[in-house]
Structure 1
Amino acid sequence: MLFSLEKILVPLDGSDNSFRALDAAIFLASKSDSAIDLVYCVSVFPSIEVQMIDPIKCQILERKFAESVLKKALSICKKSDIKSNQAILYGTPGYTITKYIKSNKIDLVVIGSRGRSTVREVFLGSVSNYVLHKSPAPVLVIK
């Protein structure tokens, strides 16, 4: 076999697309006896946004949401008898996920696309687009 999968990364954000990516990763992991790393990246807010909201309260809520998303994902992996690990990361999502890929020897990234329009993607960018272009590992984008 030219390409073996030992570790598959699934970045989650709680969206339907991220859980569709998890389903695809579980399918691939079951065929290749791979483990899945589940990550949720808590975004670091720009200073202008922080001034408009309570940053402490926002981080607490985001952390609780991250924990609930990862708990659900772990449960899905367990039901499918797939080995999995979880991590909550902090930072700019695309950059932080790419850094995680490099430091954890990930063989494949399976990430959901939010389906942004082309015009918005040019101006705003997207996490999946960033990871697709910056990842040292192959990336499978699920719509």
Structure 2
Amino acid sequence: MRVAVAIDNSEESYNALKWILDYLLTQPSTKLTLVHVMEPLPPFHGVESASRAQAQEAARILARASEMCKAKMINAESLILEGDPKNLLCEATAKMNVDLLAIASRGLGQIKRAFLGSVSDYCAHHAKCPVLIVKPTKESPK
């Protein structure tokens, strides 16, 4: 089985990875790929330094996710893409023959989702593999 987890800088995406590590990856033969998609930078002067900073941020995000995997003794490969996350996640999962894409839901309301679009909703309808959408956990009252 091959599983891809979409990772960005949100706590929700790390929560989705945690869910996959805790409840799904029980077989050592499962291959895990952490996928981070960087939004393309607009062309402007000084794009090289901005691009370098963006690549460093992507590496930091994937390093945190990789540490979570190592803590559970799971080997994961990382993949960094640049472009529109909705399209690239669907394309990458098809090219890699992924059996399951796990993606976090940010918990947007219907109005925000209608205006902003939802990566998880798009992937659920367009990916060639099953998509597991992990909803945000509800914090317990303090």
The bucket for the TM-score relative to the shorter chain is 0.7 to 0.9
Aligned residues: 134
For 2:46 and 2:106, the matched residues in 1 are separated by 27
Query: Which residue of structure 2 aligns with residue 35 of structure 1?
Result: 31
For 2:121 and 2:57, the matched residues in 1 are separated by 23
Query: Which residue of structure 2 aligns with residue 82 of structure 1?
Result: 74
Post-superposition offset of 1:128: 1.3
Give runs of aligned pairs for residues 7-86 of structure 1, distance below 5 A.
Answer: 7-33=2-28, 34-45=30-41, 47=42, 50=43, 54-86=46-78
Q: List structure 1 segments (4+ residues) > 4 angstroms apart after TM superposition.
A: none
Query: Which residue of structure 2 aligns with residue 132 of structure 1?
Result: 124
Query: Which residue of structure 2 aligns with residue 120 of structure 1?
Result: 112
Aligned-pair Cα RMSD in Å:
1.7
Name structure 1 gaps, 5 residues minimum. 1-5
CA contact (8 A) 1:29 1:82 kept: no
For 1:44 and 1:18, the matched residues in 2 are separated by 20
CA contact (8 A) 1:42 1:88 kept: yes
For 2:51 and 2:23, the matched residues in 1 are separated by 33
Name structure 2 gaps, 5 residues minimum. 136-142
From the two aligned structures, give the one with the greater helix fraction.
1
Post-superposition offset of 1:58: 2.7
Q: Which amino acid aligns with 1:109?
A: L
Identity %: 27
- Given the two structures, how large is their TM-score scaled by the length of structure 2? 0.86
Post-superposition offset of 1:78: 1.1
Query: Which residue of structure 1 aligns with residue 95 of structure 2?
Result: 103
Q: Which amino acid aligns with 1:19?
A: Y
CA contact (8 A) 1:8 1:29 kept: no
